[in-house]
Amino acid sequence: MENLASNLKEKLTGTSFDANSEKTAPPINPGVLHQFRKIQIPLAKIGLGSTEADLVQMAKKYLEIVGLVLFVWIFGYFHFSVSWILLAVFIYLFRQRQRSQFKERHRMLNEINKNEEQYIKARLDELPSWVFFPDVERAEWVNKIIKQAWPYANKYMDKAIFHDIMIPMIRSTSPALSDFSFEKLDLGEIPPRIGGVKVYTDNVRDQIMMDMEVFYAGDARIKSKVKGIVCGIKDIQFVGELRVILSPLINTIPLFGAVTYFFLRKPSIDFKLTDAGTLMDIPGLNDLMLVQINDIVASMMVLPNRQVFPLVTDIPTGHLRWSNPQGVVRVIVIEAHNLVKADITLLGKGKSDPFVKVKTQGNVEYKTKTMNNTTDPRWNEVFEFVVEQSERDVVDFEIYDEDPGKDDFLGRAQFSINSLLEQQSVETELTLKDVKKGSLKVFLQYFHLSTQRSALDIIERTNRQMIKQEKLSKALLVVFIDRCTNLPASKKTRREPNPFCRIQVDNTERKTHTLESQTNPSFEHISQILCSNPLQQQLKIEVRDARSNNDIIGYLELPIKNILDTDSMTIDTQEFPLKSSTEPLDRVSIVLRLSLHILSPVNSNASESPTASTPLVENSNRQNTVAELPNKSILENNLITDSSSKFANEQATTPENRTLLVADDPDLESSQFGQVKVGIRYAANRKALSVTIYACKDLINVHEQNLPDAYVRVYLIPDFKKDKKKTKSVHDTVDPVFDDLFEWSASLSDIHQQHLLISVKNNSPLFASEQTYMGDLQIDLSNLDAEKNSIAWYALQEPNTSAGGLIKIKYDTPNNVQTHL
C-alpha cells in the first residue's frame, strides 16, 4: 500500500521520492515547501485517500440511511399511516440540523481555546468583549495559571462539587433517581477560559468587584448510572458572566476576608448525550433536561443567590450572602412595528406569530403572549424586575416567531438601566438589531426602595393610574432562609429527610435546592418576591422531604404586615418554630432574615404622603402626579388612565368608604359548588369591557388523590363566544387565587346585550377519569354602569346546567337588589 501511495504521489507531482532523488534535489524555498505540504496526500491505510476514521464515518452514514429506508419499508409493509413516516423523517432531519449546529459551535470554541489571537483575526465579527470595551481587559496570565492547575482542580471538583453537591441535588429531583451515581468522571485536559475581566473602581467601597467572561468547551466525559442504566455526556459547552467580589478588605494577609461569586444571568449550558442518553436526544426531551439543569444552577449561583468562600475565620461573613437590591424596574411592552415575516407562503405573502422575551440580570425571565398572524403586534403587558447592580444592568428584549419545534428569531434590543435612573420613566421605540427591519415600543419606569411607611401611600397613588393596578407591585420582600434545625426523620422510610423549602406569596413561588440526608440543613437561599398588597398578603414557607414524595415536614405562615410594622422593616436572623398539620413537632424551627422595601418613584426616604383626612389635598397631589408623568402618548395608549377628574371622584372618599368591594350575599353561605370573586367595569375611554377573575374559594374537590388544579374559562356570549379567555392553572388547592384581567372591545350598548359566562374547571390529565367541570356562572350585563366598578363574590352553580338562571351585576347600593331572572 505504501508503494502504491508513493507511485501516486510521483505521478501527481512529477518528482521521485526515493532516497537518491532526495540527495540530488535542489534546495526548495521554505514558502514553496509549506505550500507543497498543504496539498500533499496523506498516507492511506485503507483505500485510496482515506483513513479508518473516514471509513467509519462513511459506514455510520450508510447505516443511518439504510435504517431510515428500512423504517419506512416496515411502516409501509404493516400499512401504517403516512403521518408516522412524516413524523419520523421530521425528527431525523431536526436531529441532523441540531447536530450540525452543535458541532459548529463546539469547533468554534475549540479554536478559541487553542489560539485566541488567530481566531480573532479570522472572525472579526465575533470579537470578545475586551476588544469592544476599553475597560474590559484580557486575562491570558490567568488562563495560563488555570491550565497548569487544572489537573489538580479535577480532583477537587470531583469531591466537592459532583459528589457533595450534584449527586444529592439530582437524587432529590425525583424518587426514580434515588440511586443516581457517577460511574466515570473525566474532566479532560482542556480547562475553562477567562475571556475578559472588568474591575470596578467607581462607587465601590470596602470591596474589590470584577466581572469575568467564563466559557468552556473541553473534552470532559462524564458517565452516570441510574437503575443499572448508564448514561453519559460529552462535548460540554458552558458560557456565562461571573461576578467575583473580594470583601471585606482587611489590613492583614490575605487583605480580604472572603470571596463571593455568582452569575449575573443564567449561564448557557449544552452537551451531547452518549450511551443510553441518546434515547433522550429527540426534540423536546433534550430541551426539557437542559431547562432542569439550568434551574438547578440558578437556585445556587445566579443572582440573587450567591456562593461565599471565607478566607478568614475571625471575621463575620454571613451578611455577604444577603441580597441588597437597589431598585425595581417596571417594563411595559406596548407594541412592535414592521417585523420580519417569518412564515412565508408559496405566493410570497406571510405573517409572523410574535412574542417577546424580557429579561435582565438574575434568573427571572418573562414572556408575553403570542399575537398570531401579524407583523404589527400590540401587547400592552407589564413586567417588573428587581435591580441588584445598576452599573451595567440592561433590560434585554428578544422577539421570536412562535413555531412548532424551534422559534424563529425576529430581533433583539436593549435599554440601559443606568440611563433610566436620570429620567425615572421613559417611553421609547427601540430599533431591532440583527434583523433587516422592525422596532419595539416600550415604557420603562424605575422605582427606588424605601423603608418609610409613608412611601406606601405614594406607590398606591402611582399604581392607581395604571389600568392593571391589581397586578402592580407595591413592595419587595427579601427572604433569606439560613437553616432549619431538628427536622424529624421520615416516617415512610425511617431515614433522615432530603429537605428543601418552598416559599410562597399568593401565586408567586420560589424553591431552594435540596440537601441529602440532613436534619439540620443549611440552605443559605435568597428569594426576592414582589408584593402587590403587603398589608393583606401572607408569607408561607413549607419545608418538604424530597425522599418521601415531597411530603410537608413543617410550615410557617407569617403576615407580611408584621415585617411592615417593624421600625426598619427588617426581621434580622430570627428563629421561627415550624408547625405541622399532622402531628406536633418537637423544637423544629427555621432561621430566617426578612426585609421589606417599599417601591418609591422618587429617591427619598422622607417623601411626604397626604393623609386620608384631607381629601382635597390628596386630590391635588394626585393631579400633580399625573401632570408630572412624562410621555403623554402612554395615556393615549391606555396604559395609564387619562382622566384626572376620575381620580378626583375616587379620592373624594377614603378607602374605607369606596364602593368597590361588595358585601357577600346571603345565598353565598349555602353555595354547594363554591364561590368566585369577579371584578367588572366598563372603560368608556377605551370602549372596552374589563373583567378580572380574582379568586375562588370552597370549590368542590374532583381530584382522585390530591386537590384539584383549578382554572377559569370566561366567555362573552352570544356575540363574542369565539373569543374565549382562560386564566392560569393553580395547582393543588380549592381556594385558588388568579388575579387575571380580560378585556373585550365593544360599545356599551353591545355589551348590555351580552351575558358573561364563567366556568371553573379542573386541569385534569389527558387520560384521567377525573371530573373536569367544577362550577358555572352566568352574569347578565344589561345593568352594566359605566360610572361604577363592581368587585363581588358570586355563588357558582351546578356545572353544565342553567338551573340557577342569570344573575345581574352586583353593585353595593341599596336600590340595586340582586335577583335571579
Residue 6: inside a domain: no
User: Of the ranges 240-254, 304-318, 780-794, which one carries the lowest mean pLDDT score?
Assistant: 304-318
Distance between CA 683 and CA 662 in Å, rounded? 20
**Cα-flanking dihedrals φ and ψ of residue 810, to 5°?**
-90, 120
User: Of the ranges 99-103, 421-425, 666-670, which one carries the lowest mean pLDDT score?
Assistant: 666-670
Q: Considering its fold, how many domains does the chain have in total?
A: 5
Q: At which residue does the C-alpha cell 440511586 appear?
A: 179
Tell me, what CATH number does 707's domain have?
Answer: 2.60.40.150
Rg (CA), the chain: 32
pLDDT of residue 597: 93
Residue 478 has pLDDT above 90, yes or no: yes
pLDDT of residue 575: 93
Query: Comparing 637 with 371, which gets the higher pLDDT?
Result: 371
pLDDT of residue 608: 38
User: Average pLDDT in the 341-351 region?
Assistant: 67
| 436 pLDDT tier (thresholds 50, 70, 90) | confident
| 141/233 same-domain check | yes
Residue 595 has pLDDT above 50, yes or no: yes
User: Average pLDDT in the 95-117 region?
Assistant: 73
Residue 585: inside a domain: yes
User: Average pLDDT in the 324-349 region?
Assistant: 81
pLDDT of residue 379: 92
| 96/161 same-domain check | no
Beta-bridge partners for 344: 350
User: Average pLDDT in the 9-16 region?
Assistant: 45
Residue 659: inside a domain: no
| 336/297 same-domain check | no
User: Average pLDDT in the 265-282 region?
Assistant: 74
Looking at 126, 154, 169, the residue that finishes a domain is 126
User: Of the ranges 136-145, 300-309, 547-556, 706-715, which one carries the lowest mean pLDDT score?
Assistant: 300-309
Q: Confirm if 89 and 220 have CB atoms less than 8 A apart.
A: no
pLDDT of residue 668: 63
Contacts of 566 (CB under 8 A, 6+ apart): none
pLDDT of residue 441: 93
pLDDT of residue 318: 67
Residue 120 has pLDDT above 70, yes or no: no
| 277/355 same-domain check | no
Digit-coded pLDDT (tens) for 365-377: 889 999 988 889 9
Query: Comparing 615 with 424, which gets the higher pLDDT?
Result: 424
User: Average pLDDT in the 213-229 region?
Assistant: 83
Residue 459: inside a domain: no
| 121/133 same-domain check | no
Domain that holds residue 791: 675-808
| 149 pLDDT tier (thresholds 50, 70, 90) | confident
pLDDT of residue 369: 92
pLDDT of residue 657: 34
Helix (H, G, I), strand (E, B) or coil at 245: strand
| 690/743 same-domain check | yes
Judging by beta carbons within 10 Å of its beta carbon (0-12, 13-18, 19+), is residue 517 exposed, middle or buried? middle
Residue 815 has pLDDT above 50, yes or no: no
What percent of the chain is modeled with pLDDT above 90?
16
Looking at 126, 142, 157, the residue that finishes a domain is 126
Query: Comparing 98 with 428, which gets the higher pLDDT?
Result: 428
Residue 507: inside a domain: yes
pLDDT of residue 131: 58
Residue 574: inside a domain: yes
- Cis peptide leading into 42, omega within 30 of 0? no
User: Average pLDDT in the 477-486 region?
Assistant: 92
| 619 pLDDT tier (thresholds 50, 70, 90) | very low
| 121/136 same-domain check | no
Residue 217 has pLDDT above 70, yes or no: yes
Contacts of 64 (CB under 8 A, 6+ apart): none
Digit-coded pLDDT (tens) for 724-752: 888 888 888 888 888 888 888 888 888 88
| 696/778 same-domain check | yes
pLDDT of residue 36: 37
pLDDT of residue 665: 56
pLDDT of residue 215: 84
Residue 791 has pLDDT above 80, yes or no: yes
User: Average pLDDT in the 392-407 region?
Assistant: 85
Q: What is the mean pLDDT of the chain?
A: 75
Helix (H, G, I), strand (E, B) or coil at 439: strand
Distance between CA 192 and CA 376 in Å, rounded? 43
Residue closest to 443 by CA, chosen among 390, 395, 410: 395
Residue 565: inside a domain: yes
What percent of the chain is modeled with pLDDT above 70?
73
Residue 545: inside a domain: yes
pLDDT of residue 479: 93
pLDDT of residue 678: 92
Residue closest to 693 by CA, chosen among 763, 741, 725, 732: 741
C-alpha distances (whole Å) from 211 to each of 93, 119, 392 are 40, 23, 10
Contacts of 148 (CB under 8 A, 6+ apart): none
| 230/307 same-domain check | yes
Looking at 450, 484, 503, the residue that finishes a domain is 450
Query: Comparing 233 with 456, which gets the higher pLDDT?
Result: 456
User: Average pLDDT in the 570-598 region?
Assistant: 90
| 500/397 same-domain check | no
pLDDT of residue 504: 93
Distance between CA 163 and CA 129 in Å, rounded? 35
Q: Give the per-residue SS3 of 492-557.
A: CCCCCCCEEEEEEECCEEEECCCCCCCCCCEEEEEEEEEECCCCCCEEEEEEEEHHHCCEEEEEEE
Residue 538 has pLDDT above 90, yes or no: yes
| 362/482 same-domain check | no
User: Average pLDDT in the 443-447 region?
Assistant: 91
User: Average pLDDT in the 408-423 region?
Assistant: 85
Query: Comparing 190 with 630, which gets the higher pLDDT?
Result: 190
Judging by beta carbons within 10 Å of its beta carbon (0-12, 13-18, 19+), is residue 124 exposed, middle or buried? exposed
User: Average pLDDT in the 29-47 region?
Assistant: 41
pLDDT of residue 155: 74
| 728/803 same-domain check | yes
